Amino acid sequence: MAKRFMHVLLAGGLTVFGLAACGGEKAKEEEPTPSNEQSGDTVAAGESVAKSNCIGCHGGDLTGGMGPSLHGLALSKDEIVDILKNGKGSMPAGTAKGNEEVVADYILTLK
């Protein structure tokens, strides 16, 4: 009887410990939106162009494939527009076909 009580007590203690170890994590606060962020329509237009023209090399979610990930780029909008217009390395020029600005706006939202 005492042995069974000890097993129940031990199991209960481990359960409480396990639940305490799993809880208490604070949700990550959302980062403030930069003041120069484009409208939702502009970003949506850029997303549409990017998904039809970029996924072949950069992967379906643009996290990388043959080409590098487009998430979290340390480039300015002007640098991205220049690469889209003129190419760089194995990236061909003209892939956004006149939509460079909206594609750059969309790429800058990827984190």
DSSP letters of the chain?
A: -HHHHHHHHHHHHHHHHHHHHH--PPPPPPPPPPTTPPPHHHHHHHHHHHHHHTHHHH-TTSS-SSSPP-TT----HHHHHHHHHH-BTTBPTTTTTT-HHHHHHHHTT--
Q: Is 91 annotated as a binding residue?
A: yes
Q: Is 58 annotated as a binding residue?
A: yes
DSSP-assigned beta bridge partners for residue 88: 91
Q: Is 71 annotated as a binding residue?
A: no
Q: Is 22 annotated as a binding residue?
A: no
Binding residues: 54, 57-58, 91
Binding residues for heme c: 54, 57-58, 91
